[in-house]
Amino acid sequence: MTPAPILAALLALAPWHGDRSLSRAEREAMLRPVAEAIAAASRTREDAAFLVTQGWFESKYARAVLSGHCDEMPRGMRCDPDRNGVPRARGAWQLWSFCKATDVNGEARCVLGTAHLGLQRCGSWDAAFGALTGRWACTMRPERTHLMRKILAGWGKR
C-alpha cells in the first residue's frame, strides 16, 4: 500500500483539539512521515488500518507527541507519566521501553510486530488491540475495531 491513502485516512481523523488551528498543509506535513512509516511497515491493508487506528487512539497524532515534546501536553495526557511526571511512553503509538526503535519507522514495526503476536495468540484484530496494553490479555477493544473497519471500508476492496 502506498502512503497516499494512508495519509488521506490520517487527515480524515479528527485532530487533537490543541492542533485544530493547524492548516491542512501543516497537518499534512506533520503526518506524512507517519503515513510513510505505516506504508513501509505494513504488508496488508489490515496492517495499515491497524496502525492508523492504534496511533489515533493512543496519541491523536498530536503535534507535541509526534515531535517528542510530551511535556507540552496538558496534565493527564503527558505520555503515560510515572509518579514523578516523567513520560514513559513515546511516539504516535505511545510505545514503552520494550521497543528500542529510535524513529517513526522502527516504532511502526514494533507496534505491528506486537500486534501480529497478539493476532496469533488471540485470533482477532479486536483482541490484538488488547495485546498492546502490555498485559498480553486478549481484551476486546470494540471502539478501535470499529474505527479500523471504517478505515478499511474507506479504502474499498482491492
| Residue 112 scores a pLDDT above 70 | yes
- Report whether 150 contacts 49 (CB < 8 A): no
111-132 mean pLDDT: 86
Q: Which residues on adjacent β-strands are paired with residue 87? A: 81
Question: What single string gives the DSSP state of each residue in 76-129?
Answer: T-SSSB-TTS-B--BTTTTB-TT----SHHHHHHHHHHHHHHHHHHHSSHHHHH
Do 9 and 155 touch, CB atoms closer than 8 A?
A: yes
Give the residue, 133 or 116, on which the prediction is more confident.
116
What pLDDT shows up at residue 148? 95
Cell numbers describing residue 137: 490479555
How far apart CA 54 and CA 92 sit, in angstroms, is 9
Per-domain boundaries in the chain: 3-155
Yes or no: say if 28 and 93 are a contact pair by the CB < 8 Å rule: no
pLDDT band at 14 (very low <50, low <70, confident <90, very high): very high
| Pairwise CA distance, residues 38 & 34, whole Å | 6
Per-residue pLDDT reduced to its tens digit, 77-104: 778 777 887 777 888 998 888 888 889 9
pLDDT for position 157? 62
The pLDDT value recorded for residue 87 is 75
Whether residue 18 has pLDDT greater than 80: yes
Task: Quickly tell me which residue has 496538558 as its cell.
Answer: 74
Mean pLDDT of 133-152: 83
Average pLDDT over residues 118-135: 81
The whole-chain average pLDDT of the chain stands at 89
Angle at 108 between CA 107 and CA 112, to 5 degrees: 115
pLDDT band of residue 158 (cuts 50, 70, 90) is: low
